[in-house]
């Protein structure tokens, strides 16, 4: 990766649901179940929770689904070797690396051509975040770390993106960056802290919490559905289709 320069503007991106059309940890867990690292009876709980979310059965169905997924992931991790996990990560990365949104993929390319420093802050495992960053030419990244000893995971999980505001501060301090001209893209409530630090925040396919926050503060809102990208413009009173 190139060494960032503080004289260049920077752009920071979330990955899951913002650039990629699916979420890496969800896909990794699916593959772990397929490969037999998670027994089918246990993983049925994930499938049931996912279906409840897909049916939009209640307002907290997605958070309940993610909670179930993470709990099973945390129980599975200590039983994996780093070699086993690397195989799964490679499988998932090759499958999903190009399954991305047109808007954010093109934005990354445009900003790279304009000599922006490109950064990723993601809750996905750092092993897959590193691959994604290299593939798309990002300069630096932060992902969830899983300490290991002698080729075996300890079960400890370092979620450095629990507070994305602090994660952005970490990268700004590390590279001596300034927020002038900065751009940020996120899709969920968890990205609000990150986007509040950015000069030009973009709420992309936002969940309700991020959408409401973006509306309140006049942030740019972009929605991509099928092959069409819609931008919502704030006319001072309301958001309208631009």
Phi, psi at 83, each rounded to 5° = -65, -40
How much is the pLDDT for 162?
Answer: 76
**Domains of the chain: residue spans and CATH:** 10-21+100-241 (3.40.50.1000), 24-96 (no CATH)
**HSE of 136, CA atoms in CB hemisphere, 13 A:** 30
Task: Give the pair of three-digit tokens for residue 226.
Answer: 């099928």
Look at 18-22, 84-88, 209-213, 226-230 and tell me which has the smallest mean pLDDT.
226-230
pTM: 0.90
How much is the pLDDT for 159?
Answer: 82
Question: Given the structure tokens 């413009």, which residue do they identify?
Answer: 233
pLDDT digits (tens, 9 = 90+) for 89-118: 999 999 999 999 999 999 999 999 999 999
């Amino acid at each position: 990766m190139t060494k960032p320069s503080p004289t260049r503007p920077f752009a920071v991106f979330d990955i899951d649901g913002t650039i990629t059309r699916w979420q890496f940890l969800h896909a990794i867990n699916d593959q772990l179940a397929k490969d037999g690292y998670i027994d089918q009876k246990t993983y049925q709980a994930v499938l049931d929770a996912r279906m409840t979310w897909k049916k939009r059965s209640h307002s907290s169905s997605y958070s309940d689904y993610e909670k179930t997924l993470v709990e099973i992931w945390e129980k599975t991790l200590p039983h994996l070797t780093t070699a086993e996990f690397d195989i799964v990560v490679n499988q998932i990365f090759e499958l999903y690396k190009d399954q991305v949104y047109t808007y954010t993929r093109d934005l990354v390319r445009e900003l790279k051509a304009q000599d922006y420093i490109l950064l990723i802050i993601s809750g996905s495992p750092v092993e897959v975040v590193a691959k994604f960053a290299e593939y798309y030419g990002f300069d630096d990244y932060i992902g969830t770390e899983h300490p290991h000893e002698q080729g075996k995971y300890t079960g400890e999980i370092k979620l450095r993106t629990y507070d994305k505001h602090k994660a952005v501060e970490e990268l700004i301090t590390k590279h001596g960056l300034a927020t002038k001209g900065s751009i940020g893209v996120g899709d969920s409530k968890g990205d609000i802290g990150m986007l509040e630090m950015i000069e030009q925040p973009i709420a992309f396919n936002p969940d309700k919490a991020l959408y409401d926050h973006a509306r309140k503060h006049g942030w740019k809102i972009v929605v991509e559905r099928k092959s069409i990208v819609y931008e919502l413009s704030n006319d001072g009173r309301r958001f309208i289709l631009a």
